[in-house]
A and B are shown apart, each in its own frame.
Chain A
Amino acid sequence: MSGERTGAVGARWTGRVLDLWAGLVLLYLFLPIFVIIAYSFNKPEGRFNFVWKAFSLDAWRDPFLFPALVDAMKLSLQVAAVSTTVATLFGALIALALCRYTWKGSGTIGLLLVLPLTTPEVVLGSSLLSLFLSANYATGFSTIVIAHIMFSVSYVALTVKARIKGFDWTLEEAAMDLYATPWRVVTKVTLPLIAPGIAAAAMLSFALSLDDFVITLFNAGSRVTYPLYVYGARRAAFPPQINVLATAILAGSLVLLGLTVLWQNRTLKQAGD
């Protein structure tokens, strides 16, 4: 009897420690984000938004006050849009090929896909830059896009691959059996069913592109993306508009993420899983 009680008390005690520990980890993860959001409502004294002074909606009322910041944000969004489109197309096709067929070398391709994820960004960025330099290719918008496509393709391919692992390929045979040409099979059956997975991968790719600093720094030439601007700005000024735009991006991606989750749940329910 007493042994049981001690056990129960012990379990309750370890449970509490575990809760506390998990809470601390979550705090560690999210505190910086909360600080960024909170400081978007700050009214800083001077050029640097590092010390809390007073609550204000000034920055939110005028988020596009600094043209250079707006330009950097625009450039980041453009780069993200182009690189995500290309990377999603290639990555999804690679994933489809890897799931659908096994051929001599498909294992190697699977391995090569993981490589950009495990290689330090410094190595990727610097080696890409040396490639551009030796090819005498001017760095700028196109080189940022190329660099972002390079690392995004891997993420997209691996994400899509994981999502379509359980795809029932007999559905394609069924469609073909019902007189659908290969084109009709893809557009009416395969794509609609794997679209949520591809959308999730595209979102990931977009976020990675928006966020990348190291590789971009090497290959940006004279162009300034949002992360580069933020880093450079810290020496001259750090206005709360930086926090405002960052918070807006965060909110936007959370909404998109929520929508994707809803969409995926619906598709899964239809698939009867």
Chain B
Amino acid sequence: MDSVITLDHVSKRFGAYVAVHEAHFDIQRGEFFSMLGPSGCGKTTTLRMIAGFEQPSGGRILLEGQDVSRVPPYQRNVNTVFQHYALFPHMSVRDNVAFGPRSKKAPEAEVAKRVDELLSVTRLTQFAARKPAQLSGGQQQRVALARALVNYPSALLLDEPLGALDLKLRQAMQIELKRIQREVGITFIYVTHDQEEALTMSDRIAVMNEGLVEQIGSPEDIYHSPARVFVANFIGVANLLPATVVGEMENRLVVSLEGDVRMETANPAWGAKPGSKGTMMIRPESLYFRESGKGLPVRLTAAAFSGPAIRLVLTTGSGIEMIAHVPSDGPRPVLEPGRSYVVSWDPEGARLLPPKSARSPLDMNLRPTLELAQQFYPNSVV
């Protein structure tokens, strides 16, 4: 494997506040890699450390095999697309794009050639003479991209680049970004809090929460096999039920849910054995909804038609809310709010997730500290 960037146990603290804790992963050449998480999860800080705007408090960052942890941003061969573009307002589009090559003192003829090439890739040729304020949001976005890509960086860093655009333009730019990435073949490192954006565009996603990398994997992995409750909850809709392992057979486990309802599930990798407690995670589309039979008894609270599927809101005996999607044109029981039904699932359609304590003991001690720090330093940059 050919990795462009390696984060080697990278941490960042601002005073007592831990913004990033022991981030440890590789980013491959040509990959579209996303860092996804709620605000304050440390994704932007991680990106800023890769760009060189922040220095890690611990660990090393390798760029093309070289330790760049203490190298200033202007000597790192990575470029950033900023959240609000940060285009130079006093320069034309052409001068904005030419800024990087001119900083590197490239001959003016070569600068002109490269700028023309990038303006054409980003479809900006006709706007070359304009000032940024005379462009629309989407065009400014493309200038920011061209200005970064013209330097042929080892990796392009994008900090919520579509956040400032409206929904329609955002969707168009998602496709545009993917197209440009394929065309130039450069590694993209993409920071977003929008799970749908991350799922559609990424080759791999790192889900972050409170300074910790919770899981790294392909969009399919992250969606279908979340490693933790946080990931299951953050990506898509997840039904979560407290469960206890009561039996083990070959590669399957028997778990007991509320009311001692027993269901089977695949044996997860975290070492669950009879007696272990955990959380059952089932996606709404993996639930079977029947009038009676084997399964978990539920009460129907509400049903909403949404075209291809009907979205059912269900309540279990102990009051846990569940969401089920049933095909709107297939055979299904008569829907009567208030009536009792039964839900079940295939063993492969469910995941047994570890309880929070099954993570490393270090994290257990870290969490209260993080919460306290957040309380006392609410204005810390994350």
Which A residues fall within an 8 A CB radius of B?
Answer: 168, 170-171, 173-181, 184, 188-189, 192-193, 267, 269-272
- Closest Cβ neighbor of A170 among chain B residues: B86
Q: How many residues of B contact A (CB 8 A)?
A: 27
Which B residues fall within an 8 A CB radius of A?
Answer: 51-53, 72-75, 78-80, 82, 84, 86-90, 99-100, 103-104, 131-133, 147-148, 151
Contacts of B79 in A (CB 8 A): 177-178
Complex-state Cα separation, A188 to B86, whole angstroms: 14
Complex-state Cα separation, A146 to B78, whole angstroms: 48
Complex-state Cα separation, A175 to B148, whole angstroms: 11
Q: How close is A273's CB to chain B, nearest CB, in angstroms?
A: 9
Apart from A176-B52, A193-B89, list 20 A-B contacts with CB within 8 A. Answer: A168-B84, A170-B84, A171-B88, A171-B89, A173-B73, A173-B82, A175-B103, A177-B53, A177-B74, A178-B79, A178-B151, A179-B100, A180-B74, A184-B103, A188-B99, A270-B89, A270-B131, A270-B133, A271-B133, A272-B133
A/B pair count, beta carbons within 8 Å = 73
Query: Is the beta-carbon distance between A178 and B133 smaller than 8 angstroms?
Result: no
- Closest Cβ neighbor of B157 among chain A residues: A177
Query: Is the beta-carbon distance between A192 and B74 smaller than 8 angstroms?
Result: no
Q: How close is B76's CB to chain A, nearest CB, in angstroms?
A: 8
Query: Is the beta-carbon distance between A180 and B99 smaller than 8 angstroms?
Result: yes
- Closest Cβ neighbor of B79 among chain A residues: A177
- Closest Cβ neighbor of B78 among chain A residues: A177
Query: Is the beta-carbon distance between B103 and A180 smaller than 8 angstroms?
Result: yes
- Closest Cβ neighbor of B140 among chain A residues: A272
Query: Is the beta-carbon distance between A189 and B88 smaller than 8 angstroms?
Result: yes
Query: Is the beta-carbon distance between B88 and A177 smaller than 8 angstroms?
Result: no
Complex-state Cα separation, A171 to B96, whole angstroms: 11
Complex-state Cα separation, A179 to B77, whole angstroms: 8
Complex-state Cα separation, A173 to B84, whole angstroms: 12
CB contact under 8 A between A181 and B86, given known A173-B53, A270-B131, A272-B132: no
Contacts of A188 in B (CB 8 A): 99
Contacts of B151 in A (CB 8 A): 178-179
Complex-state Cα separation, A267 to B51, whole angstroms: 29
CB contact under 8 A between A176 and B84, given known A184-B103, A192-B90, A267-B90: no
CB contact under 8 A between A174 and B80, given known A181-B74, A272-B132: yes
Complex-state Cα separation, A179 to B51, whole angstroms: 11
Of B72, B80, B148, chain A has the most CB atoms within 10 Å of the CB of B80
Complex-state Cα separation, A174 to B82, whole angstroms: 8
Contacts of A272 in B (CB 8 A): 89, 132-133
Contacts of A177 in B (CB 8 A): 51-53, 73-74, 78-80, 148
Query: Is the beta-carbon distance between A174 and B86 smaller than 8 angstroms?
Result: yes
Complex-state Cα separation, A170 to B317, whole angstroms: 53
CB contact under 8 A between A178 and B147, given known A171-B88, A184-B103, A270-B90: yes
Complex-state Cα separation, A272 to B100, whole angstroms: 23
Sample 29 A-B pairs with CB under 8 A, ordered by A number. A168-B86, A171-B88, A173-B73, A176-B52, A176-B73, A177-B51, A177-B73, A177-B74, A177-B78, A177-B80, A178-B74, A178-B79, A178-B99, A178-B103, A178-B147, A178-B148, A179-B74, A179-B103, A180-B74, A184-B103, A192-B90, A193-B89, A193-B90, A267-B89, A269-B133, A270-B89, A270-B133, A271-B133, A272-B133
CB contact under 8 A between A174 and B103, given known A269-B133, A270-B131: no
Q: How close is A244's CB to chain B, nearest CB, in angstroms?
A: 40
Complex-state Cα separation, A33 to B133, whole angstroms: 41
Q: Which of A173, A179, A270 contacts B86 (CB 8 A)?
A: A173
- Closest Cβ neighbor of A272 among chain B residues: B133
- Closest Cβ neighbor of A179 among chain B residues: B103
Of A174, A176, A189, A270, chain B has the most CB atoms within 10 Å of the CB of A174
Q: Which of B52, B53, B100, B132 contacts A178 (CB 8 A)?
A: B100
CB contact under 8 A between A179 and B133, given known A173-B53, A174-B82: no
Listed from nearest, the 3 A-B pairs whose CB atoms lie closest are A272-B133, A174-B86, A179-B103
Q: How close is A8's CB to chain B, nearest CB, in angstroms?
A: 43
Query: Is the beta-carbon distance between A170 and B104 smaller than 8 angstroms?
Result: no
Contacts of A179 in B (CB 8 A): 74-75, 100, 103-104, 151
Q: How close is A10's CB to chain B, nearest CB, in angstroms?
A: 45
Contacts of B53 in A (CB 8 A): 173, 176-177
Contacts of B72 in A (CB 8 A): 176
Complex-state Cα separation, A184 to B51, whole angstroms: 18
- Closest Cβ neighbor of B132 among chain A residues: A272
Q: How close is B91's CB to chain A, nearest CB, in angstroms?
A: 9
Contacts of A178 in B (CB 8 A): 74, 79, 99-100, 103, 147-148, 151
Query: Is the beta-carbon distance between B89 and A271 smaller than 8 angstroms?
Result: yes
Complex-state Cα separation, A175 to B51, whole angstroms: 12
Query: Is the beta-carbon distance between A174 and B88 smaller than 8 angstroms?
Result: yes
Complex-state Cα separation, A174 to B143, whole angstroms: 13
Complex-state Cα separation, A66 to B80, whole angstroms: 64
Contacts of A170 in B (CB 8 A): 82, 84, 86
- Closest Cβ neighbor of A192 among chain B residues: B90
